[in-house]
Amino acid sequence: MTLHAIEISRSALLANVETFREVAPESRFMAVIKSNAYGHGMLEVAGLLAPHVDWFGVNTLAEARRIRAIVPEPPILVMGLNGWEDQPVPQGVTLVLASLQQIQAFGTRGIPFHIKIDTGLSRLGLRGSELDEALQYLAEHPQAPWTGVMTHFANVEDVTRQDYALEQIRRFQEAREQALAVAGSRSLLFHAAASAAALILPESRLDMIRVGISLYGLWPSNETRLSLLGRQGPLPILRAALSWRSQIVQIHSVPAGASVGYGCTARLERDSLLAVIPIGYFEGYDRLLSSRAHVLVRGRRAPVIGRVSMNMISVDVTHIPDACAGDRATLIGRDGAEIVSAEDLAAWAGTINYEIVSRIIGDLPRTLVT
Ligand SMILES: *Cc1c(COP(=O)(O)O)cnc(C)c1O
């Protein structure tokens, strides 16, 4: 096998889309594939999902162009802020405009756009008098190809009581009434929900759900899962799509008392067999995993010993005596009966699963597997 393999399960991705079709049968499904599809490989995921989803969501126009070069459908929404001023926008790409100034500058260029309303995240979006002015402008420019209105939630995945999100929905409904009043003959798509809201807040689903993390089979948070556990009906099944494998490149025996790695932060208490795996923080294996994470070798857990370096880690395989150079090492995924999940790595590194997967370096090859 090659030194590195990031395997993306087709059946898991398709099953997750299907799960959301069942969760929100009335809403269109946007697959959010920004940031290299959260580390899963944007073009691989786009090619697979194009026939199965209603929209793609990305952050940049550059991402939209790369996708449009390989698939003519579905439409793509560019949700981030990036200087489009003099860039050509391909067919089937819709921009998100988030300020009055942008709407005045781009609104009449013939490129379809959605507007973004700030309902409480206080990041991008129109609010207050700026929203009123923007809607006034759109009322006066009925030719502007305005096709949708969106907002984004602040804390759905952080809590089990959704008072804040419900207030955001209330504000969005208000903005919706205002928007419909000036839309004229334009028909507008209203959307708000990312994964967590799509899963737990039926009133957020509206015309479309924008699903990122859970498309890849990961829960947005424990709170999100807990929120659903308390309800009737089965918990939606999400299947983690990504496995990250590498290989043991060398094994050596190191005597008790030796220290391991930069900073001499780990010291061996017994004579040990240490395996070197050619993955480090450059490849996206966070340095905060030093002496905390486990990898899987021959179906057993092997703890990371000492610091994660730029391109290497050492793991203890003393208890896996048949381990040898060339053995597969699983950083994320299943090996036999054992699993290391993106959540496990997130907990060890003190971050969220989103960051763990999206930071796996883009130039390791992604392979679609069954
Ligand atoms: C990234 C993003 C999403 C997807 O969020 P998940 O929590 O990963 O489902 C949805 N909407 C917007 C605007 C985003 O930027």
One digit per residue, the tens of pLDDT, for the chain of length 370 reads 578 999 999 999 999 999 999 999 999 999 999 999 999 999 999 999 999 999 999 999 999 999 999 999 999 999 998 777 678 899 999 999 999 999 999 888 899 999 999 999 989 899 999 999 999 999 999 999 999 999 999 999 999 899 999 999 999 999 999 999 999 999 999 999 999 999 999 999 999 999 999 999 999 999 999 999 878 788 899 999 999 999 999 999 999 999 999 999 999 999 999 999 999 999 999 999 999 999 999 999 999 999 999 999 999 999 998 999 999 999 999 999 999 999 999 999 999 999 999 999 999 999 999 9
Residue 5 lies in a domain: no
State whether 77 and 204 are in the same domain: yes
Residue 261 belongs to domain spanning: 242-369
Residue 2 lies in a domain: no
Residue 32 lies in a domain: yes
Looking at residue 232, its pLDDT comes to 78
Tell me if 211 CB under 6 Å of ligand 1: yes
State whether 40 and 133 are in the same domain: yes
- When divided into structural domains, the chain yields a total of 2
Mutate to test the pocket of ligand 1, among 13, 23, 32 (most ligand atoms within 8 A of CB): 32
Q: Cα(306)–Cα(131) distance, rounded to whole angstroms?
A: 53
State whether 168 and 315 are in the same domain: no
State whether 264 and 144 are in the same domain: no
What atom in ligand 1 is closest to the CA of residue 195?
Answer: 9
CA distances from 67 to 91, 243, 244, 351 (A): 11, 23, 24, 29
State whether 61 and 40 are in the same domain: yes
Å from CA of 157 to ligand 1 middle: 11
What atom in ligand 1 is closest to the CA of residue 35?
Answer: 1
Residue 45 lies in a domain: yes
Residue 303 lies in a domain: yes
State whether 258 and 359 are in the same domain: yes
CATH number of the domain where residue 314 is located: 2.40.37.10
Residue 352 lies in a domain: yes
Q: Which of 229, 253, 275 is the last residue of a domain?
A: 229
Gyration radius (Cα) of the chain, Å = 23
Q: Which of 182, 197, 229 is the last residue of a domain?
A: 229
State whether 62 and 211 are in the same domain: yes
Q: Is 38 a catalytic residue?
A: no
Q: What sign does the CA torsion over 228, 229, 232, 233 have? A: positive
CA distances from 360 to 71, 285, 319, 355 (A): 24, 7, 29, 9
What atom in ligand 1 is closest to the CA of residue 34?
Answer: 1
State whether 290 and 223 are in the same domain: no
Residue 235 lies in a domain: no
Look at ligand 1, atom 10, and give the residue with the nearest C-alpha: 194
Q: Which of 197, 229, 261 is the last residue of a domain?
A: 229
Looking at residue 183, its pLDDT comes to 96
State whether 329 and 258 are in the same domain: yes
State whether 213 and 340 are in the same domain: no
Looking at residue 1, its pLDDT comes to 55
Looking at residue 234, its pLDDT comes to 84
CA distances from 239 to 42, 200, 216 (A): 18, 18, 7
Tell me if 359 CB under 6 Å of ligand 1: no
State whether 67 and 16 are in the same domain: yes
Looking at residue 217, its pLDDT comes to 98
Give residue-wise pLDDT tens across range 294-324. Answer: 999 999 999 999 999 999 999 999 999 899 9
Q: Is 116 a catalytic residue?
A: no
CB-based contacts of 62, cutoff 8 Å, min separation 6:
82
Looking at residue 50, its pLDDT comes to 98
Looking at residue 3, its pLDDT comes to 87
CATH number of the domain where residue 60 is located: 3.20.20.10
State whether 115 and 213 are in the same domain: yes
Residue 278 lies in a domain: yes
